[in-house]
Amino acid sequence: MFVGNDVVDLTNPRTEGRGSDERFVGRVFDADEQAAIRAAGASDLELWSRWAAKEAGFKAISKALGAPPAFVHRSFKVAWTESRDAAEGVVRVGTVRYYDHVARVTVEVWPGSVHAVAECPERVGEDVHIERRVATLENPGSRWAGPLEELRRALTEREADAVYSRESAAVRIGARADLAERLGVNEQRLEIVCAPGPASQRPPRVLLDGQDAPADVSLSHDGRWIAWAIWVDRSQEARQ
Ligand SMILES: CC(C)(COP(=O)(O)OP(=O)(O)OC[C@H]1O[C@@H](n2cnc3c(N)ncnc32)[C@H](O)[C@@H]1OP(=O)(O)O)[C@@H](O)C(=O)NCCC(=O)NCCS
């Protein structure tokens, strides 16, 4: 199972009014998606839900392919199978299609953020549960409170190798603690590492005692938010 996730900070003024920015919409979305955004009244919520779905889908599909393809947003096509704008929250469920590759995606809209989680199951019809979390970066008392240098010290050398900002350190600390809980192992046995590559373009993977863990993780950060998604292979639990 490969997971992807993406959070968009809706409190950033750059997210406002983009639904009616024809040039932007034309560059990022294909004809069907553009029509859906128009039908939704050029809604920013519809636009950022689709944007986040594409980014989450790109991350999950990158891992399923074994190497990230060039990320052209228009080539990652989003279609909803379910769209609920209920009082208790906005939810979209659907797919992200990249040529022959399809990821399932679920988008949740919260006050101030849009969060998409995508999954590419290795086996068709696989029933999975993915944990998702959106948290504020500035969160006094959290595991990730503190300056960058302090956060770096909470990471192993190879984890810290991919870190280039407080956000990127914070999200790793939050996700690793969550993974330890889900896997039922001591956090010190876990690492979230990335293969060498350009900053922010390095897919993460989870190691347990230095070996591939029966789990996958996806990281995202935008403005005041950090977010992650975690999948744990329950069939491996007995082996821990
Ligand atoms: C993945 C990408 C879309 C993330 O962009 P973003 O929205 O700015 O950043 P997010 O915070 O949501 O996600 C970043 C996290 O995604 C993860 N990530 C990066 N590349 C990934 C990939 N290919 N697959 C899975 N996860 C990936 C990393 O954990 C990263 O965390 P880090 O920045 O702390 O290391 C972007 O960095 C990227 O790789 N773009 C592709 C560039 C490209 O193909 N250009 C060609 C254009 S033609």
Write the pLDDT tens digit of every residue in 87-100: 778 899 999 999 99
Instruction: Say whether both 104 and 144 belong to one domain.
Output: no
Q: Which of 94, 90, 114, 116 is nearest to 104 (CA)?
A: 94
28 and 105 belong to one structural domain: yes
- Alpha carbon 63 to its chain centroid, in Å, reads 12
The last residue of a domain, from among 104, 128, 152: 128
Query: Same domain for 111 and 221?
Result: no
Q: Domain end: 128, 143, 158, which one?
A: 128
Protein residues with CB under 6 Å of any ligand 1 atom:
4, 6, 55, 58-59, 62-63, 68, 70-72, 162, 168, 200-204, 218-222
Task: Place 10 in a pLDDT band, splitting at 50, 70 and 90.
Answer: very high
Q: Using CA positions, which residue lies closest to atom 20 of ligand 1?
A: 201
**What span, in angstroms and rounded, lies between the C-alpha atoms of 71 and 55?**
9
DSSP H/E element including 58: helix 44-65
Q: Are residues 147 and 71 both part of a single domain? A: no
Instruction: Name the packing angle between helices 31-39 and 44-65 (round to 10°).
Output: 150
Rounded to two decimals, the pTM is 0.96
Work out how many domains the chain is built from and give that number: 2
| 201 CA to centre of ligand 1 in angstroms | 4
Task: Please state the rounded mean pLDDT for residues 211-215.
Answer: 97
Is the same domain home to 120 and 153? no
The answer to whether 2 and 128 are in contact (CB under 8 A) is no
Same domain membership, residue 118 and residue 86: yes
Residues 96 and 190 in one domain: no
Domain boundary among 128, 144, 163: 128
Whether residue 112 sits in one domain with residue 21: yes
Whether 57 and 4 have beta carbons less than 8 Å apart is answered as: yes
193 shares its domain with 119: no
Q: In what order do the strands lie in the sheet with 204-208?
A: 190-194, 204-208, 211-212
Q: List, for residues 113-162, the tens digit of each pLDDT value.
A: 999 999 998 776 666 789 999 999 999 999 999 999 999 999 999 999 99
Give the whole-angstrom CA distance, residue 67 versus residue 45: 30
For ligand 1, atom 41, name the residue with the nearest CA: 71
Domain span at 198 = 135-239
